[in-house]
Amino acid sequence: MPKPKFVYFFGAGAAEGNGSMKELLGGKGAGLAEMTSIGLPVPAGFTITTEVCDLYYKSGKKYPAGLKEEVGKYVAKLERTTGKKLGDPADPLLVSVRSGAPVSMPGMMETILNLGLTDKSVAGLAAKTGNRRFALDAYRRFIMMYGSTAMGIARKKFDDEFDKVKETLTRKRLGADPETKIGDTDVNADELETLIAKYKALYKKEIKKDFPQDPSDQLWGAIAAVFDSWMAEKAVTYRKVEKLVGVKGTAVNVVQMVFGNKGETSGTGVCFTRDPSSGENVFYGDYLINAQGEDVVAGIRTPLKLTEFAKKDPAAYKQLCDVRTKLEKHYKDMQDMEFTVEEGKLYMLQCRAGKRTPAAAFRIAVDLVAEKLITKETAVSRIKTTDIEGIFYPAIDKSHAAEMKKSFLVQGIDAVPGAAAGKVYFSAEKAEDEAAKGTPVILVRKETSPEDVGGMHAASGILTATGGKTSHAAVVARGWGKCCIVGCEQLSVDYEARSFSVGDVTVKEGDWITLDGSNGNVYLGALKLIQPKLPKSYETLMGWVDEIRKVRVRTNADTPYDAAAARSRGAEGIGLCRTEHMFFDSEERILAIRSMIIADNAEDRKKALKTLLPIQTKDFEKIFKAMDGLGVTVRLIDPPLHEFVPHDEEGQRALAKACGMRFEVVRQRIEKLHEANPMLGHRGCRLAVTYPEILDMQVTAIMTAACNMAKKGVKVFPEIMVPLVIDEKEFAILEERIRAVAGEILAKKGVQIAYKVGTMIETPRAAILAGEIASRAEFFSFGTNDLTQMTLGMSRDDAGKFLPDYVDEHKAAIFRQDPFQSLDQKGVGLLVKNAITAARVVRKDIKLGICGEHGGDLESVKFCCRIGMDYVSASPFRVPVARLAAAQAAIEEAAEAGTAKTPRAARKPRTVRKTAADAKPAGTRRPRAKKAGNPQ
């Protein structure tokens, strides 16, 4: 294999690389090459590729053969291009050395400036610039940067030396007890020379070697430092936290120095081509006269706004404006740029797509389409999941960084984004009471259970000590878009004392805390929150999203309130209505369901169910109304019954009293509900098989509600869903019973309603035998939460102990992402894909969707689109994310089809539709939720 090219040159209007080569050249290197190519003023230089970094680590920190020679060749080329030579005692070439990974990555090596200065060449710089102090100051800074950044000497040791010099000077010049101290700029050339000597001595003491006087040694030292910083703890942690996997390494950029600190016609700045905060099309940035980048970072002097810069130095500003126009035309996106002006001449040091707020992301995307710079598809492709989250959820006002830092308490798992501040309460009951009084409440629990749902709903935020992103707390809170932090293991919750503690800090009931659900941070006290505002451009862009996508988006909603909330976010029906969640809405309901559960025989059970029937009927009526004209998939009762009953003596005694039973009997019945593995226990349709009277009640409630609403002119499309099916026969038995009960209601009410009966596919066996089951089921909804648990043999409640290792890039790295967050496409996805194929063979028009947590995950939704689902169902707050994902999937598919020349393996459009709920507007497969006659 021939040696790959290790180094890419740019300079004098030409570059070997370009902007598309981020993977190889890093973001910075690719940007410099691209800017050079399109004629922008960029100092010459070269980039050592990320591949070298990769090889360096693969071979145990050895450079690949040929690198030295190749770098040498390019140094010579740089010298030719600039007309200067490294280390030239007369007019030395100075360079900066920076790291630059394919993605922006804090924690890696910062810049080393002025490389090339030595005891000899510093004189040349002094002579050439006619400024000895400037040259010595540059040398001083270089030794410090090289010593600390490249060689790892503590920066403080250099600062201490400098401070000692300044103290001596202060005493010498201002007397023994001065009121003011002298600053850096007060140190003159001779004194700097003394300081340089001390720096070199410090260097020798620490490194046991003289400070390198050969610029080539300096260069290789800096290159090694960049590569080593790739594996520095900070950088590794960052990649882990940000889930950056598969990044090969960092590139090294060696660029000719330009100086912004050569006087009043020099300076340095950072700017955005548009306002990164609002997205408005105005030039935005800061400029610091007579300064180097380092000074901007240090934040000692206040920079000028660009408008002030324009007044101060119109000529330089004009050059910058030209660059702005050129860059936006070229990149067709808002750019973030670093630049330096040296004695009136502009040099571009970096450019990249600018980071922006979520609101700005929407505005810029929409504006760029209006400006005809990009297509709607491109605009849609640029929106990120976090952009949507950002415009819906409140956030902590980050302008008080110091306060935030001070009040930081602990970090948990970021289950649901958004922020919340409130008073701490430890019981759902108390939380409800306090919230009813108008107090903002944070509910703090070891873990939550269905009994806590009332308090969870009342609270502004939820914090739990245990559980993962798919624990009960997380799933329920996500449904409401309510800020939630889980698995905060350092939390010791003491229910008795009504307090929790983290280390020495104790937080009592009624104390204020603030949660940041976007990163899992918990703060003491009440921090200021910013309430998001939906930008106008949101509606425009989401309109395009709906035009583009081919897959419908439904929602998982269990209450009329959720249903309405989801519909307002664009949900085209309910994909999963979990009937059991309705049972926790009032004391009356809880008691009824509990009496039903502890009933010893079918008669008592039926009596209890009789109480529940009108309640469920009312709920369904409201849900059908909220979803007028759209399909509503109602899942029959699913969870293990023991989830509904109290497990403490007090609760059991209360229940016994309420039911008029002996406590001991209630205790025993509840004990009998205990299961070794409740996930795999007596739940789902197994409940309907053993207690068919529950099914009867639920179907009666659904169909009665549907009839009642239909009579009032509401368009209802009920879909009754059987959970946890494992076999065609099992489904058939229940389907027959459902149809019998439903038929009776319809006959009694004298109403015609086209309802469907289908099933969740959530056991591997159901997925394997999907073809058989499809012979009876009119729709499938893939319950990927449970399907993932069973296929992987991994309980999501217990995976916290080992799953992190499985996702960790530096440990097992078996999954790229938590399979409960992002669908395991290879394993679970294959089951789903095969099930879809088998089902469509048997029933061409079977309706297929997904209703697990994955329905709100970008990559998972894209996968669902690719394998041909008809819809995805997401929790109400994730509906816009799901819509976006579906649109992006359609765009990607179209792009692939375009690239592949021949169209992608022909997936036949699924056009056979049965009920009005499935009708689509003629001649288009584009879903338009709000269009009449298109109810889904």
Nearest residue to 799 via CA among 528, 477, 433, 474: 474
Number of other CB atoms surrounding residue 1 within 10 Å: 3
Which of 606, 653, 682, 926 is close enough to bind a second copy by CB under 8 A? 682
Closest contact distance (angstroms) between CB of 668 and a second copy is: 11
How many whole angstroms separate alpha carbon 623 and alpha carbon 391? 27
Residue 676 carries which DSSP code? S
547, 827, 868, 913: which one binds a second copy (CB under 8 A) = 827
811 or 904: whose CB is closer to a second copy?
A: 811
Alpha helices by DSSP H, listed for 627-675, are 649-659, 663-672
Rounded distance between C-alpha atoms, residue 554 and residue 631, angstroms = 9
Which of 79, 161, 193, 675: binder of a second copy (CB under 8 A)? 675
Residue 518 or 822: the one with the smaller Cβ distance to a second copy is 822
The secondary element (H helix, E strand) that includes residue 836 is: helix 828-842
Residue 680 interacting with a second copy (CB under 8 A) = yes
Q: How far is the CB of 513 from a second copy (least distance, A)?
A: 25
Which alpha helices (DSSP H) does 92-154 contain, by range? 121-129, 132-145
Q: Could you tell me the smallest distance in angstroms from the CB atom of residue 799 to a second copy?
A: 8
DSSP 855: G
783 is in an annotated binding site: yes
For residue 784, say whether it is annotated as part of any ligand binding site. yes
Strand partners, 516: 419, 521
Q: Which of residues 854-883 bind a second copy (CB under 8 A)?
A: none
Q: How far apart are CA 519 and CA 419, in angstroms?
A: 10
Considering only 42-50, 196-204, 644-652, 761-769, which stretch makes contact with a second copy by CB under 8 A? 761-769
* Contact with a second copy (CB under 8 A) among 89, 532, 646, 764: 764
472 is catalytic: yes
- Yes or no: say if 145 and 112 are a contact pair by the CB < 8 Å rule: yes
107 or 771, CB closer to a second copy?
771
Catalytic-role residue among 851, 854, 864, 865:
851
Query: In terms of CB distance, is 719 or 762 closer to a second copy?
Result: 762
Please pick, among 457, 472, 581, 642, the residue that the annotation labels catalytic: 472
Least distance in angstroms from the C-beta of 502 to a second copy: 17
- The single residue among 651, 681, 771, 868 that binds a second copy, judged by CB under 8 A, is 681
What's the rounded Cα separation, in Å, for the pair 247 and 306?
Answer: 36
| Cα distance between residue 542 and residue 380, in whole Å | 8
How far apart are alpha carbons 720 and 698 in whole angstroms?
Answer: 10
Strand order in the sheet with 45-48: 14-15, 7-11, 45-48, 251-256, 95-100, 112-115
| Cβ neighbours around 11 below 10 Å, total | 22
Buried b (16+ CB within 10 A) or exposed e, 53-72: bbbbbeeeeebbeebeebbe
- Structure letter (DSSP) for residue 150: I
Residue 771 near a second copy by CB under 8 A: no
The piece of 285-293, 497-505, 681-689, 745-753 that touches a second copy (CB under 8 A) is 681-689
Q: How many CB atoms lie within 10 A of CB 460?
A: 22
Residues that contact a second copy, how many (by CB under 8 A) = 49
Q: Are 209 and 80 in contact (CB under 8 A)?
A: no
Output 689 or 916, the one with its CB closest to a second copy: 689
Give yes or no for residue 653 binding a second copy (CB under 8 A): no
Query: Which two tokens mark 31?
Result: 């940007």
At closest approach, how far in Å is the CB of 615 from a second copy? Answer: 26
Q: Is 762 annotated as a binding residue?
A: yes
Min dist. Cβ of residue 828 to a second copy (A):
7
What is the C-alpha to C-alpha distance for residues 538 and 531, in angstroms, rounded to an integer?
16
CB burial string 340-378: b at 16+ within 10 A, e below: bbbeeebbbbbbbebebbbbbbbbbbbbbbeeeebebbe
* Closest alpha carbon to 752 in 715, 719, 698, 777: 715
Residue 174 C-beta-side C-alpha neighbours within 13 Å: 13
Among residues 491 and 886, whose Cβ is nearest to a second copy?
491
| Residue (592 or 792) nearer to a second copy, CB | 792
The correct pick among 305, 657, 826, 907 for binding a second copy (CB under 8 A) is 826
CB of 500 to a second copy, least distance (A): 16
Which residue number, 316 or 807, has a Cβ lying nearer to a second copy?
807
Among 58, 329, 536, 765, binds a second copy (CB under 8 A): 765
Pick the piece of the chain touching a second copy (CB under 8 A) from 319-327, 518-526, 762-770, 859-867: 762-770
Taking CB under 8 A as the rule, does residue 676 contact a second copy? yes
The token duo for 298 is: 């240090």
**Residue from the set 165, 244, 830, 842 that interacts with a second copy by CB under 8 A:** 830
Letters for 708-737 (x = contact with a second copy by CB under 8 A, - = none) are ----------------x-xx-xx--x----
Contacts (Cβ under 8 Å, ≥6 apart) of 906: none
Does 677 sit near a second copy (CB under 8 A)? Answer: yes
Would you say 32 or 792 has its CB closer to a second copy?
792
- Please tell me the distance from the alpha carbon of residue 59 to that of residue 203, in angstroms, as a whole number: 30
487 neighbors 464 (Cβ within 8 angstroms): yes
690 binds a second copy (CB under 8 A): yes
Closest to 615 (Cα-Cα) out of 705, 739, 718 = 705
Q: How far is the CB of 820 from a second copy (least distance, A)?
A: 12
Tell me the closest approach of the beta carbon of residue 827 to a second copy, in angstroms: 4
Report the run of H or E that residue 71 belongs to, with start and end. Answer: helix 67-82
Exposure pattern of 139-153 as b/e (b: 16+ CB <10 Å)? Answer: bbbbbbbbbbbbbeb
Q: For the window 786-815, what string marks contact with a second copy as x by the rule CB under 8 A?
A: x--xxxxxxx-xxx-xx--xx----xxxx-
Name the segment binding a second copy (CB under 8 A); options: 352-360, 580-588, 616-624, 820-828. 820-828
Closest CB to a second copy among residues 363, 578: 578
Nearer Cβ to a second copy, position 602 or 754?
A: 602
Q: Among 588, 589, 582, which Cα is nearest to 560's?
A: 582
Q: Is 838 in the site for a second copy (CB under 8 A)?
A: no
* Nearest CB to a second copy, comparing residues 557 and 831: 831
The annotation status of 160 as a binding-site residue, yes or no, is no
Q: Please, what sign has the CA dihedral across residues 297, 299, 300, 305?
A: positive
Span of 288-296, 557-565, 600-608, 782-790 interacting with a second copy by CB under 8 A: 782-790
Place of tokens 């016609």: 265
- For residue 540, say whether it is annotated as part of any ligand binding site: no
Question: Annotation-wise, does 600 bind a ligand?
Answer: no
Smallest separation (angstroms) from a second copy to the CB of 688: 10
Per the annotation, does 290 bind a ligand? no
Cβ of residue 830: shortest distance to a second copy, in angstroms?
Answer: 6
We find the least distance from the C-beta atom of residue 270 to a second copy, in angstroms, to be 42
Q: ∠ at Cα 534 (533, 536), nearest 5°?
A: 125
Q: Which residues are catalytic?
A: 472, 851
Binding-site members for Mg(2+) are 762, 786
Binding-site residues: 578, 635, 762, 783-786
Could you tell me which residues are annotated as the binding site for substrate?
578, 635, 762, 783-786
Residues that bind a second copy (CB under 8 A): 675-682, 684, 686, 689-690, 724, 726-727, 729-730, 733, 762-765, 768-769, 786, 789-795, 797-799, 801-802, 805-806, 811-814, 824, 826-828, 830-831
